[in-house]
Chain A
Amino acid sequence: MNAQLQPTGSAYFIEKERQAVENHTLSVLVSNEPGVLARVIGLFSGRGYNIESLTVSETEHEAHLSRITIVTRGTPHVLEQIKAQLERIVPVHRVVDLTVRAVELGSDRPVERELALIKVAGSGEARVEALRLAEAFRAKVIDATVGHFIFEITGKPSKIDQFIAIMKPMGLIEVCRTGIAALNRGPQGM
């Protein structure tokens, strides 16, 4: 975003953004057809929007529908544009800004969860400590040898961040995260 650092006064009339930047979670219901994900993420890169997290999978097999959950960052004006631009994509059925909707429904924010697989290698004291901490975080051991563990952990992204940070000195080898899955509270669907 170099352009925003430039002073105004050009044939391209660039103004400093005055609104505050927010994180929002969008739920995008799309036809499950070839190239649909490329259309969605191409829109984000082409128009200079941010993707903080992206999760996609088929959710209704019979109806050929997939649900894409995107965490994006922008000013309220940009977020409104993102939603309108997404709705223009032909195979996009619905776009809901879960963060906005959560407030309308009277809650703070949508329910957001992420799953991570975390490989830790070590022996002796560090290994015991890693297992003890994993229990405290309710992480499951899904693979192990005498030299390593793979933990499976589910939770809010902040909890996973914290667990990964703690595992670093315990011999953290690698991490795989799914990205955020999100729904709004209450009986209604999107």
Chain B
Amino acid sequence: MTGKDTQNDGKMTGAEIVLRALKDNGVEHVFGYPGGAVLPIYDEIFQQDDIQHILVRHEQGAGHAAEGYARATGKPGVMLVTSGPGATNAVTPLQDALMDSIPLVCLSGQVPTTLIGSDAFQECDTVGITRPCTKHNWLVKDVNDLAATIHEAFRIATTGRPGPVVVDIPKDVQFATGTYVPPAATQPKGNYKPKMQGDLDRIRAAVELMASARRPIIYSGGGVVNSGPEASQLLRELVELTGFPITSTLMGLGSYPASGKNWLGMLGMHGTYEANMAMHDCDVMVCIGARFDDRITGRLNAFSPNSKKIHIDIDPSSINKNVRVDIPILGDVGRVLEDMVRLWRASANKTDKSHLKDWWEDITRWRARNSLAYRPNDDVIMPQYAIQRLYEKTKHLDTYITTEVGQHQMWAAQFYGFEKPNRWMTSGGLGTMGYGLPAALGAQIAHPESLVIDIAGDASVQMTMQEMSCAVQYNAPIKIFILNNQYMGMVRQWQQLLHGNRLSNSYTEAMPDFVLMAQAFGAHGIRCEKPGDLDDAIQEMIDVKKPVLFDCRVANLANCFPMIPSGKAHNEMLLPDEATDEAVANAIDAKGRQLV
């Protein structure tokens, strides 16, 4: 493509425009899979060196890899798929990115415009199918709209509340010749203007309320990570200045360091006792970039009943959606925190934190319950122990962690301490099993020298296992650390709690041999069965300069506690030492079984 445009007065083919637009939007990597309707674009990819294409084994893998890439870099992830099945396979990562607010740009091929609507080979209504699972999407019917549409797609994916977008490009548009316009020369269309700056009067009111608090708590979420590293820095500053305790959602881990002295651990269904009790008993709650998800609140009418609530969010529809708040502040977390920190510093009397002493005493008492405790075992590896050892062996390294979905995900969130934002990638909102392996691949492509580990479960990892082949192809030395208990652990845990221990279809009777599987892929396989061997095996995993499947055989029937059981409030948690068989059986009344 180089040179051609100058010869032809800025005229290029649609496929050339795609490549140029990607380059001009700062794209270095594209995750994709070719097919009939995107061949012209693949032909252009072949003829250039600026953008590296990563060939996945399934379009879902491309999407999650792009999500992992986005989360690990703060840049948008880009995926490229063909029409029909290529586009439908992209739906899961698109919805995943929508729920977790990940900037993801998906380019899809489409049958030629003249064939749209004729049930042509590999045709589907991509724009129709992806409408509810994207922030916005486009079908480009005129090659002269293509450049502007792609620029607009990047702008919408990355600004405001980030999210996924789809640009559907018919094959004849890829072949047609048109004019390229650079991003700077493109006028943003329509009325899309996210509100970045928070209302200063509201922020002032919030600071006053926070200053008057006796039992305050900060509840932060993924919005802090999305807002950028400065937002995390400001959050740390605010915690330091105010002396408030802080908890975070699953998506927000790392924005405040797990080693910080005000850290209470994650909150919610599998959050710590101290975090949930503090949420329940607080008098002022400062929600920063989180959305009062049902995994966080527990029973809504018992959620933090006596607190005044401040909510900072960039998305107006997140405010007052599930929980009524007293001071809503619409704006970018980073900008609002900047004002908040400045106003807090400007007001007097803030150095003395003695009025919080009683509150911290309460918290210390709750902490003493040690809600993450588990019974150690010398013969079998406890899953919690495996994560603790993994953490100890990797915490000094430049590490990125991804997960699949289930018990292992919650244990990872509970036992792996995150010190920085953008180091933790997990499917929070949609709960997509199979997310972690391709997400690790994406993070590794972005950070080739770093240690990228997917903490996986044996069931989840089999959903996108084929991407090991991709990791081998690109020498992406991802480490897949499988907590293998032969069950879909979280499904089994709920069956035990809610369905009379009838373990319907949650046991995997034919488990593949992961070590042989690794060898078949050309990766490295490790199996570990004894707690005493674990440290050496983890060291081997770190040292091998290849993708690794680590089959960590853990206690089969371990369950994930603490847990807010069905229909209960934050102060009615199941704790591990209380979770005897009897307590577990009685924890959920008959009504609770109906709607889980």
Chain A residues close to B by CB (< 8 Å): 3, 6-15, 31, 34-35, 38-39, 42-43, 46, 77, 80-81, 84-85, 87-94
Contacts and interface: CB of A to CB of B under 8 A. Distances in A.
Given A9-B567, A10-B596, A12-B595, A87 B189 contact: no
Interface string B103-135: 000000000000000000000000110011001
B23 interface: no
Given A13-B300, A90-B136, A7 B594 contact: yes
B566 interface: yes
A11 B431 CA distance: 15
A8 B590 CA distance: 11
A80 B320 contact: yes
Contacts of B567: 8-11, 13
B596 A38 contact: no
A3 to B, nearest CB: 7
Given A10-B591, A15-B300, A90-B156, A34 B316 contact: no
How many chain B residues sit at the interface, stated as a range, is 20 to 34
**Of A7, A9, A80, most B-chain CB atoms within 10 Å:** A9
B301 interface: yes
Contacts of B127: 35
A101 B567 CA distance: 39
A28 to B, nearest CB: 12
Contacts of A12: 294, 595-596
Interface string B184-209: 00000111100000000000000000
A34 B139 contact: yes
Contact of A9 (B139, B189, B592): B592
A15 B566 contact: no
Nearest to A43: B132
Contacts of A89: 136
B583 to A, nearest CB: 17
Contacts, number: 86
A84 B316 contact: yes
B191 A93 contact: yes
B299 interface: yes
**Of A7, A10, A38, most B-chain CB atoms within 10 Å:** A10
Contacts of A10: 566-567, 591-596
A78 to B, nearest CB: 10
A88 B317 contact: yes
**Of B139, B298, B591, most A-chain CB atoms within 10 Å:** B591
Interface string B576-596: 000000000000010111111
Nearest to B192: A90
Nearest to A45: B132
Nearest to B564: A11
20 contacts: A8-B301, A9-B566, A10-B567, A10-B596, A12-B595, A12-B596, A13-B300, A15-B300, A35-B131, A38-B128, A43-B132, A46-B132, A81-B320, A84-B317, A84-B319, A85-B317, A87-B317, A88-B317, A90-B136, A91-B136
A90 B190 contact: yes
Nearest to A86: B317
A3 B320 contact: no
B419 interface: no
A42 B129 CA distance: 11
Contacts of A42: 131-132
Nearest to B568: A9
A15 B136 CA distance: 32
Nearest to B320: A80
B144 interface: no
B82 interface: no
A10 B593 CA distance: 6
B321 interface: yes
B297 interface: yes
B523 to A, nearest CB: 37
A85 to B, nearest CB: 5
A46 B133 CA distance: 11
The 6 nearest A-B residue pairs measured at CB: A9-B567, A10-B595, A84-B317, A9-B591, A93-B191, A90-B136
